[in-house]
Amino acid sequence: MTLSTLLGSIELGLIFAILSLGLFIAFRILDLPDLTVDGSFVTGLAYSAVWSVAKNPYMGIFMGSMGGMLAGIVTGILHTKLKIHAILAGILTMTGLYSINLFVMGDKPSVFFYGEKTVFTPFEGKFYISGVDIGKLILLFIIVLILTILLRIFLMTQVGLSLRATGDNEAMVRSSSINTDAMKILGFAVCNLIVAFSGAVYAQYNMTATHGMGTGMLVLGLASIIIGETVIGKRGMLRHLFAIVIGAIIYRIMLTIAFGLGLPAIYLKLFSAVIVVVAISIPLIKPTIVRWRKIHAGN
Amino acid sequence: MLEIKNVNVIFNKDTVNEKRALRDLSLILNDGDFATVIGSNGAGKSTMLNVIAGNIEVESGKIYNNGLDITYMKEHKRARFIGRLYQDPLKGTAPHMTIEENMGLAYSRGKRVRFGLGVRRSDREYFKSVCAKLGLGLEHRLKNEVGGLSGGQRQALTLLMATMETPELLLLDEHTAALDPKTSKKIMEITDRIVSENHITTLMITHNIRDALDYGNKTIVMNNGGILTILEGEERKSMTVSDVMKLYSGTDAILSDKMILGN
């Protein structure tokens, strides 16, 4: 692996670290895997692309994030007010978003904007490590750092505590006079806002938006979260958030290595799914081995 | 003052399993009353508490708290003035959050949502002092996750959380039943102290008849979805456990006659 491919995978890792941090809110804090992300990621892509074409990349990031937030609110309302199962609510919103995203992209399956100004433009061509431009890397690093700190602070606020308690012990939260429905809607909204934000950044990173990009984003996010937790651990909130960022980067580097070893690109999603299964089962394998040894000790 | 007027609750209405859990139940509790509730299984004790707390809706009847009609108020809104403890010590606290975070949540009860930190430095000092009063050493473990505490400690913490912002009404649903005898006694003493110090109107369900007579100023004996009798004053003081047992057995006779005669 050359330096530039390594840095490239770290850049992508950081973009998907944003996505994973968003998913963390739904999956770990609220304990509800939110399938809306497969759609809201594309919402981010779509707005980002059309606004970049219109020469306003910052507006693209903003509008994309807001679009994602709205999608999250819809899923939240479907789940809490209409009592639809969280996963089905996510699928419904995601399915609806398929059309909306296409509409935003002007009925085109992809939007290209090579050469247009993006949020990365001011950082490009200024910083180099042995001839490799690290401008994008620096910007992404700053974004992830700020997001991690903001999330950490948010989860310490009173609203953040209520959100965490809602996922931890819902009955207790209701008896402490907090509206759990509102908390869940908020959780879905924040989750999808961040996911769409990562989509918006990703579009400008690639200078393309493809309508079919969203498939498997939930699994990708889960993979990053679980890999990070397995490698770094999850004791303490800051450590947990940090673990997710590292997990996303590790996942991306693994993918790059797999492609380098000749894995055809069509196996990308299969690879993600297998990684999730393996990462989930690792903590289960260890006690089994320990138990086997205990039973067979002395034989 | 808590006022329950002719409340009826029917489970599984219009099915073969239809059960009238509360029948025309009426009850008045004055401010500062500490009433213990006893009765056999299925007498409607927990249903009564659930109706007051708002997780079961009444079929008919009214519930007033200090003159305010709360019959159809949402559960989380009532929680602003109602504190509640369950039998299961795991139910009242969030296991993956620290003691101080749990207390921070409880401390904000009834106040408007604020956007500052959930646990402020000044709060921490206060939490420490109230924990120290329990005498369980929790004040040194404020930053530990609640999941690591014993059942008794969790129940004591829940009690603290339910009463930190003095509620107008405290509902205790056999909150010591899942604890060992020694811890159970300790929690009962703490409960009694907190309730009498703050003059909280309290309803406590218990299966321990000794406790039912020893604590509080009234004992409500429930049977078959209604109130059989309310013991108070001199009559209550002279009651022994076996007297109460006789009350019970009397009801059982009525109950079985009713069952044979088809109500």
Could you report the per-residue pLDDT of B130-184, keeping only the tens digit for each? Answer: 898 888 888 899 999 999 999 889 999 999 998 888 899 999 999 998 888 888 8
| Amino acid type, A291 | R
For residue A299, what pLDDT is reported? 59
B154 touches chain A (CB under 8 A): no
Stronger pLDDT, A240 or B235, i.e. the higher one:
A240
Query: What's the CA gap between A255 and A253, in Å, rounded?
Result: 5
| A177 with B76: Cβ contact below 8 A | yes
Distance from CA of A105 to the nearest CA of B (A): 37
Per mean pLDDT, which range of A29-38, A246-255, B239-248 is the poorest? B239-248
Sort out which chain A residues have CB atoms less than 8 A from B109's CB and list them.
176-177
DSSP B208: -
Query: What's the CA gap between B118 and B134, in Å, rounded?
Result: 23
Q: For A176, which of B53, B79, B118 is closest by C-beta distance?
A: B79
For B6, B28, B47, B121, B226, the CA distances from B62, given in Å and listed in that order, are: 7, 12, 15, 43, 15
**B58: which residues sit within 8 A by CB, 6+ positions away?**
B7, B8, B9, B22, B51, B71
Sort out which chain B residues have CB atoms less than 8 A from A237's CB and list them.
none
Q: What does the block give as tokens for A109?
A: 């399956």
Q: For A156, which of B94, B108, B117 is closest by C-beta distance?
A: B117
| A177 with B110: Cβ contact below 8 A | yes
B10 touches chain A (CB under 8 A): no
For residue A191, what pLDDT is reported? 97
For residue B251, what pLDDT is reported? 60
B137 touches chain A (CB under 8 A): no
Mean pLDDT of the residues in chain A: 91
Do B149 and B98 form a contact (C-beta atoms < 8 A)? no
For residue B260, what pLDDT is reported? 46
* Strand order from edge to edge, sheet including B34-38: B82-85, B169-173, B201-205, B34-38, B218-223, B226-232
Mean pLDDT over B7-17 rounds to: 88
For residue A243, what pLDDT is reported? 96
Sort out which chain B residues have CB atoms less than 8 A from A157's CB and list them.
115-118
Query: What's the CA gap between A209 and A211, in Å, rounded?
Result: 7
For residue A29, what pLDDT is reported? 94
| Amino acid type, B8 | N
- Beta strand B218-223 with B34-38: parallel, antiparallel or unpaired? parallel
Stronger pLDDT, B262 or A59, i.e. the higher one:
A59
B261 touches chain A (CB under 8 A): no
For residue A260, what pLDDT is reported? 87
For residue B115, what pLDDT is reported? 67
Sort out which chain A residues have CB atoms less than 8 A from B115's CB and list them.
157-159
pLDDT higher than 50, residue B259: no
Mean pLDDT over B111-119 rounds to: 72
Q: Which residue of A has its CA nearest to B100?
A: A161
Of these ranges, A75-79, B68-72, B155-159, the one predicted with the greatest mean pLDDT is A75-79
B260 touches chain A (CB under 8 A): no
Sort out which chain A residues have CB atoms less than 8 A from B101's CB and list them.
161, 164
- Beta strand B201-205 with B169-173: parallel, antiparallel or unpaired? parallel
Q: What does the block give as tokens for A13?
A: 């890792």
For residue B263, what pLDDT is reported? 37
Q: Give B 72-101 residues with CB within 8 A of chain A.
A: 75-77, 79-80, 82-84, 90-97, 101
Mean pLDDT of the residues in chain B: 86
Confidence of residue B110 (pLDDT cuts 50, 70, 90): low
Give me the phi and psi of A226, to 5 degrees please.
Answer: -70, -40
Q: For B97, which of A157, A164, A177 is closest by C-beta distance?
A: A164
Do A71 and A192 form a contact (C-beta atoms < 8 A)? yes
Mean pLDDT over A39-48 rounds to: 96
Closest CA to A200 of A13, A33, A67: A67
Length in residues, chain B? 263
Rg (CA), chain A: 20
pLDDT higher than 50, residue B16: yes
pTM for this model (two decimals): 0.86
User: In the 3-class helix/strand/coil scheme, how is A149-176 assigned residue by residue?
Assistant: HHHHHHCCEHHHHHHHHHHHCHHHHHCC
Closest CA to A226 of A282, A280, A167, A283: A280
Q: What does the block give as tokens for A32?
A: 């509800």
Confidence of residue B113 (pLDDT cuts 50, 70, 90): low
Q: Number of Cβ pairs closer than 8 Å across A and B?
A: 79
pLDDT higher than 70, residue A110: yes
Sort out which chain A residues have CB atoms less than 8 A from B163's CB and list them.
none
Q: For B108, which of A156, A158, A168 is closest by C-beta distance?
A: A158
Query: What's the CA gap between A108 and A122, in Å, rounded?
Result: 29
End-to-end CA distance of chain A: 46
Query: What's the CA gap between B15 and A123, in Å, rounded?
Result: 70
For residue A298, what pLDDT is reported? 67
